[in-house]
Amino acid sequence: MQVSLASIRDARGEVFTEGCPTRTVLDHVLSKWGVLVLGALTDGTLRWGELRRAVEGISEKMLASTLRTLEGDGFIRRESFPEVPPRVEYALTDRGRELMERMLPLMDWIAANADEILAR
């Protein structure tokens, strides 16, 4: 079971240098609420209210903030419809789907092993 991170190390052998853009993206994408929001959007478009209910426990403030960050990074797309009452839909972009293709195996493994990991 050979695993290596060599391809993403810099010249000094460091993983993700401080101040490096990678750290920022890592923080956005792997944040407490970021992963859950991205996960919720993985199998389809959701409206604001649906998202709020799907990501159990998230506050409106954090949902808004997380959505704006992920939209700013181009992982999700916001589409608002000029109706009454208002309707706004959120969905993964192509970039977001690329990301989730890599994230899903990880979340899947964690979901499958969480109980055993915490059993102690």
Residues at the contact surface with its own copies, assessed by CB under 8 A: 1, 3-8, 13-18, 20-22, 24-27, 29-30, 32, 35-36, 39-40, 42-43, 54-57, 72-74, 94-95, 97-115, 117-118, 120
- The residues pairing with 80 across neighbouring beta strands, listed in sequence order, are 88
Using alpha carbons only, what angle is made at residue 54 by residues 76 and 81, rounded to the nearest 5 degrees? 50
Beta strands in 1-120, from DSSP E residues, in sequence order: 46-47, 76-81, 87-92
- Look-up: residue for tokens 């050979």? 2
Q: Which does 83 bind (CB under 5 to 8 A by kind): its own copies, DNA, none?
A: none
Does residue 49 bind DNA (CB under 7 A)?
Answer: yes
Residues near DNA (CB under 7 A) are 31-33, 47-50, 57-62, 64, 68, 78, 80, 85-88
